[in-house]
Chains A and B, each alone.
Chain A
């Protein structure tokens, strides 16, 4: 929490480390893209399959598109992206900063009159907070396309009807809620990952522990806070 406050404090003190921010945005955003695409795509597809089975029983097969779109944008897009990115990026942050801590690179930054929070954590925090909503937008689109693929191509729903059912029942609010969640999840992943790395001690073993904790704690925090954000905005 203190680290979070300090990070926010440094956030508004120029100059920002432009190069570092871009490098981290690439790491968080671009390099996570394939993982997020595969996760979202297959989730959209399986959602279509499962809901089709249920809806078929009372002849509402065309509602599959609505279910896929709502679940993806409100819930599964942000949560699954958050979980995947915390596994990929949160762990990497903890491991990298943890290694820097135990090999005295963080001390070296201080001796070179550079604040490590400003130099290391602010860029990662910004990158995760900005890139997560962007990743979620892609996850939403790919997930909906995955559902369409299964619903129309495999299960043979009328394409026009499927598209209309997706589009007509989707409100802008659904998208906003998802993106708001993503914003929070980005902050959670970066803050916990960086904190765990920063406070690592005890050599390689300590770095390993920090990495594991970063993933476990940020995943749990994402799942728990997801409920509360949903409840507040209900």
Chain B
């Protein structure tokens, strides 16, 4: 775990962010600061608004209220052109990879380079191969995404995210949907990326093992607000009952299961069974 320099500059600052979809208020005043070079992990249950939060930060979702600063620039009201300039600082790893399935692996990785630079085709392919090697993939350049396993898709998606050498990496559930060994390999890769590329990163996850491993600091999102921020040790020893319940993955506690559909459709015991199977706190 790397020590945080208290005086380091703030790379991303989120101030009092609100976002609703129809009736449901997803974000209700989120405040978050991420320092230059830091690895921030946002934890929270399914439907707690983690994905909405990072989609706001990269400009995929327009917040209703509040400000987002990237390198001191307020981005939530930028026009398309301004936002594109900001997005060039970002790379994002999507939950299921979001690879373009009409293109080969190397075309996927080189997509940003082809559209943002004037590099020649040969150079793009060479760089794509380098980035693929960096995430531990070789001789996959000409495969189609449909021929890859879940773990490989995530790696290719990561290679695509780092191809344009971003300053900030966003990880949406990096370890979801892959086996535990592959998940750990992805964790190692995320740490390696931070060390090799010196990027600032925000990862959202509900996999606590991953959160402890990759996070310099962890923030917990609950009911649309950040209720606690701290180093993994601080989070582990938090006195907040909600945080404790979540990180230990217990179904009993202050967090109530609020999804009415779940309450009516499945019996309580069935739900508990499913949760045990997933092995994580999912509320």
Q: Is the CB of B84 within 8 A of A113?
A: yes
Q: Is the CB of B100 within 8 A of A108?
A: yes
Chain B, interface size category, equals 20 to 34
B212 in contact (CB, < 8 A): no
Q: Is the CB of B115 within 8 A of A111?
A: no
The number of A-B residue pairs with CB atoms under 8 Å apart is 54
Which of the segments A28-36, A99-107, A139-147 contacts the partner chain? A99-107
Find residues 151-169 in chain B having any chain A CB closer than 8 Å to their own CB: 160-161, 164
Find residues 84-99 in chain A having any chain B CB closer than 8 Å to their own CB: 96, 99
Q: Is the CB of A105 within 8 A of B100?
A: yes
CA distance A193 to B149 in the complex (A): 31
B195 in contact (CB, < 8 A): no
- Nearest CB of B to A154, in Å: 46
**A114's closest neighbor in chain B, by CB?**
B115
Q: Is the CB of B115 within 8 A of A113?
A: yes
CA distance A114 to B115 in the complex (A): 7
Q: How does the 8 Å CB contact mask read for B221-238 relative to A, with 1 for contact and 0 for none?
A: 000000000000000000
Tell me which of B80, B84, B95 contacts A104 (CB under 8 A).
B95
- Nearest CB of A to B169, in Å: 11
Tell me which of B59, B84, B94 contacts A108 (CB under 8 A).
B94
Q: Is the CB of B84 within 8 A of A111?
A: no
CA distance A104 to B100 in the complex (A): 10
Q: Is the CB of A111 within 8 A of B90?
A: yes
Q: Is the CB of A113 within 8 A of B92?
A: no
Given contacts A105-B101, A112-B111, 14 further A-B contacts (CB under 8 A): A100-B100, A103-B98, A105-B99, A107-B55, A107-B60, A108-B98, A108-B100, A111-B91, A112-B87, A112-B164, A113-B85, A113-B87, A113-B112, A114-B111
Pairs A–B under 8 Å by Cβ, sample size 17: A100-B100, A103-B96, A104-B95, A104-B96, A104-B98, A107-B55, A108-B99, A110-B60, A111-B58, A111-B60, A111-B90, A111-B91, A112-B115, A112-B116, A113-B87, A113-B88, A113-B112
Q: Which residues of B contact A (CB under 8 A)?
A: 55, 58-60, 80, 84-85, 87-88, 90-92, 94-96, 98-102, 111-112, 115-116, 160-161, 164
